Amino acid sequence: MLVNLWGPKKTISFLGCSVQLFIFLSLGTTECILLTVMAFDRYVAVCQPLHYATIIHPRLCWQLASVAWVMSLVQSIVQTPSTLHLPFCPHQQIDDFLCEVPSLIRLSCGDTSYNEIQLAVSSVIFVVVPLSLILASYGATAQAVLRINSATAWRKAFGTCSSHLTVVTLFYSSVIAVYLQPKNPYAQGRGKFFGLFYAVGTPSLNPLVYTLRNKEIKRALRRLLGKERDSRESWRAA
């Protein structure tokens, strides 16, 4: 996708489009499920800190990760072939930055009712349901925190959940704009931008968001900013 965006050649083979669609569906579904698992992890860390090591043990982590990957592979195996078997229009011009289900459905010149129903069902299962569970988890977490009359506890809870909440907001706002949009040209044009953002922007920001709470990263950033400030001051003095 990035090669197509930055290079002069804006074409992709059918095989390349198939591989891109399969991987994109798989990784996107995995992200939805893993964000839900992480919300559960934050809930246990804040609401049941004394039992955290007992509940969130390594075996459970492996099981939840395995469920996320298996479900994402099943989703890709089911939806990719049905999308690629659509009768596509002769111009074969994808109105998007990459091969994904909504853009390929729009490219079809045949009946897409089955594919649209399939897309709607998968969107509910892998977007609406995980997001609802995340919101319910944070609702219970907020209730538990508000019952504690301690500013220190509030700061700790916010520090535990802030990075995950940021990523959830960035990811799901983009996914909803792409997969749960109304059928009109304005929404489709906006969906292309959000599709590009959650395909490139969100994964690029994830490491930064998650590591900003790391003390070593914070110290390194302070040293870097301090050096830049000193260099600017010395340049002005010179």
Q: 175 vs 28, 123, 179, 197, 205, CA distance in Å?
A: 9, 9, 6, 9, 16
- Summarize the confidence of residues 37-50 as an average pLDDT: 88
CATH of domain 14-225: 1.20.1070.10
pLDDT score, position 183: 61
Per-domain residue ranges for the chain? 14-225
Closest CA relative to residue 40, chosen from 134, 144, 149: 134
Contacts of 112 (CB under 8 A, 6+ apart): 86, 105
Structure tokens at 15: 């095989």
Q: What is the average pLDDT across 86-92?
A: 80
Q: What percent of the chain has pLDDT over 90?
A: 19
Q: Residue 238: pLDDT above 60?
A: no
Average pLDDT, stretch 87-95? 78
Q: Answer yes or no: is pLDDT of 228 > 90.
A: no
Residue 33 has what pLDDT? Answer: 93
Alpha carbon distances (Å) from 109 to 24, 82, 87, 91, 176: 23, 15, 6, 10, 25
pLDDT for the residue numbered 115: 87
Q: What is the pLDDT of residues 211-221, one digit of tens each?
A: 766 677 777 77
With beta carbons less than 8 A apart as the criterion, state whether 112 and 86 touch: yes
Categorize the per-residue pLDDT at 223 as very low, low, confident or very high, splitting at 50, 70 and 90: confident
pLDDT at res. 232: 56
Distance between CA atoms of residues 208 and 217, nearest Å: 10
The mean pLDDT of 7-27, rounded to a whole number, is: 85
The answer to whether residue 229 scores a pLDDT higher than 70 is no
Is the model's pLDDT at 235 over the cut of 60?
no
Q: Give the pTM.
A: 0.79
pLDDT exceeds cutoff 60 at 233: no
> What pLDDT shows up at residue 77?
93
pLDDT at 108: 85
Confidence of residue 62 (pLDDT cuts 50, 70, 90): very high
pLDDT of residue 181: 66
Residue 176 DSSP one-character state: H
Asked if residue 130 lies in contact with residue 32, where contact means CB atoms within 8 angstroms, the answer is yes
Q: Which of 104-118, 124-138, 155-169 has the lowest mean pLDDT?
A: 155-169
